[in-house]
């Protein structure tokens, strides 16, 4: 049965319009009680929080290694996620195995949590493949470069799940800049109209490339969603526990058939938009220092230290694991084989296509003429 806006109701317990951040760990690592969101993380034991901490450390180490690989000429480009680890890890760890993810190009921590093979994270950026992995192996679509387009894909998949009578949900990731794109707004219209079980997850990292969020959003971005009939949550995106709780709440609504939810995770992009960007030309160093004090890893570490859970030995073990993963990641990247010259024409269409066949033939003839293709077509 179709869920209408009036049936769904903008639930009072989901702040609308949201004027405060959901926060369970403050920047100093102190636990903040929240009667609404605490139940959603009541099962997170001390050991499980250490595992979340490990996720954060490992994905930051992967990100740093990827940036180094790009600077060394091994990758053509890399979109860093430095500073956004909690938003990605907290939301990814809230998902069920059958929930489907539609991401932008920055959600490498989500892909890691989903079990994507390490070399697959860089195949596109190294230029050895047109996509990094089979989406159905991990229930995560390959990254979308076109800004905001993945939100439409997520809504379409979610509507399909509803028609199939399954309680699978989808989640779609995008940045603050994407909220001005037509695709994102159109996706919210469709999601609200058809009660799609989708979570819109906006990582407000304060910058749309070099433009500050205040240029396009005079009010919190989460306030936009209720205008479409979608309840929203504004969460501290540097608080992995709060993000986990908020995402679980949104997924709970989706799984039980109550339709879409919009989450604005307020975080900060500590590095460049991509490795081709120079943020020193537009970022105030004082603003960066202010956000550095809210570092998502430091606050979890502080909390675990204060509670006596994180010992020097455990911290050293986590750091060693991160270095081990980074070494595996680098080796896998460097071992990626160069693709066959004509493989660029493979899988463009599901069925044979005359136009592609013609282009392939022309390219093959050219490569043979310059001596770059010998023997049979590759």
Residues catalogued as catalytic: 269, 273, 282
What does the alpha-carbon distance between residue 356 and residue 363 come to, in Å, rounded to a whole number?
10
Q: Torsion-angle region of residue 209: left (phi > 0), alpha (psi -120 to 50) or beta?
A: left
Q: Measuring CA to CA, which residue among 69, 78, 95, 72 is closest to residue 277? A: 78
Tokens of 322: 């991160």
Q: Is the peptide bond before 29 cis (omega within 30 degrees of 0)?
A: no
Q: Yes or no: say if 251 and 199 are a contact pair by the CB < 8 Å rule.
A: yes
Q: Residues near 188 by Cβ (< 8 Å), separated by ≥ 6?
A: 151, 200, 225, 228, 230, 260, 262
The alpha carbon of residue 135 and the mean position of all alpha carbons in its chain are separated, in whole angstroms, by 15
Nearest-5° Cα angle at 95, 94 to 99? 165
What does the alpha-carbon distance between residue 284 and residue 15 come to, in Å, rounded to a whole number?
31
What does the alpha-carbon distance between residue 48 and residue 58 come to, in Å, rounded to a whole number?
15
Q: Residues near 364 by Cβ (< 8 Å), separated by ≥ 6?
A: 342, 373, 377
Tokens of 39: 């139940």
What does the alpha-carbon distance between residue 27 and residue 144 come to, in Å, rounded to a whole number?
32
Please name the residue ranges forming H helices in 115-181.
123-126, 135-138, 149-164
Residue 365 backbone phi and psi in degrees, to 5? -65, -40
Q: How many CB atoms lie within 10 A of CB 85?
A: 27
* Helix pair angle (296-306, 46-71), 10° resolution: 150
What does the alpha-carbon distance between residue 50 and residue 318 come to, in Å, rounded to a whole number?
9
What does the alpha-carbon distance between residue 48 and residue 42 come to, in Å, rounded to a whole number?
11
């Amino acid at each position: 049965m179709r869920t209408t806006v009036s049936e769904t109701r903008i639930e009072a317990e989901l702040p609308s319009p949201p004027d405060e951040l959901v926060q369970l760990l403050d920047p100093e690592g102190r636990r903040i009680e929240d009667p609404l969101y605490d139940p959603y993380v009541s099962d997170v034991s001390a050991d499980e929080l250490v595992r979340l901490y490990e996720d954060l450390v490992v994905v930051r180490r992967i990100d740093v290694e990827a940036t180094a690989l790009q600077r060394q000429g091994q990758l053509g480009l890399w979109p860093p996620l430095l500073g956004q680890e909690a938003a990605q890890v907290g939301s990814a760890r809230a998902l069920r195995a059958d929930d489907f993810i539609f991401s932008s190009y920055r959600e490498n921590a989500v892909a890691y949590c989903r079990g994507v093979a390490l070399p697959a994270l860089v195949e596109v950026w190294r230029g050895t493949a047109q996509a990094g992995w089979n989406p159905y192996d991990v229930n995560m679509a390959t990254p979308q470069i076109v800004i905001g387009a993945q939100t439409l894909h997520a809504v379409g998949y979610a509507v399909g799940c509803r028609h199939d009578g399954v309680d699978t949900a989808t989640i779609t990731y995008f940045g603050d800049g994407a909220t001005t794109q037509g695709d994102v707004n159109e996706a919210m219209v469709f999601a609200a109209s058809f009660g799609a079980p989708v979570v819109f997850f906006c990582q407000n990292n304060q910058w749309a490339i070099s433009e500050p969020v205040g240029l396009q959003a005079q009010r919190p971005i989460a306030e936009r969603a209720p205008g479409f009939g979608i309840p929203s949550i504004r969460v501290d995106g540097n608080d992995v526990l709060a993000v986990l709780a908020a995402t679980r709440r949104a997924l709970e609504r989706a799984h039980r058939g109550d339709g879409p939810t919009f989450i604005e995770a307020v975080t900060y992009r500590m590095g460049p938009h991509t490795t081709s960007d120079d943020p020193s030309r537009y970022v105030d160093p004082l603003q960066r220092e202010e956000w550095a004090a809210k570092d998502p890893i430091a606050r979890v570490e502080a909390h675990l230290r204060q509670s006596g859970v994180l010992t020097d030995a455990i911290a050293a073990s986590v750091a060693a694991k991160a270095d081990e993963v980074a070494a595996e990641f680098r080796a896998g990247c460097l071992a990626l084989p160069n693709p066959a010259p004509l493989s660029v024409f493979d899988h463009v269409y599901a069925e044979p296509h005359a136009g592609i066949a013609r282009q392939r033939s022309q390219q093959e003839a050219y490569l043979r003429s310059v001596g770059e293709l010998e023997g049979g077509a590759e």
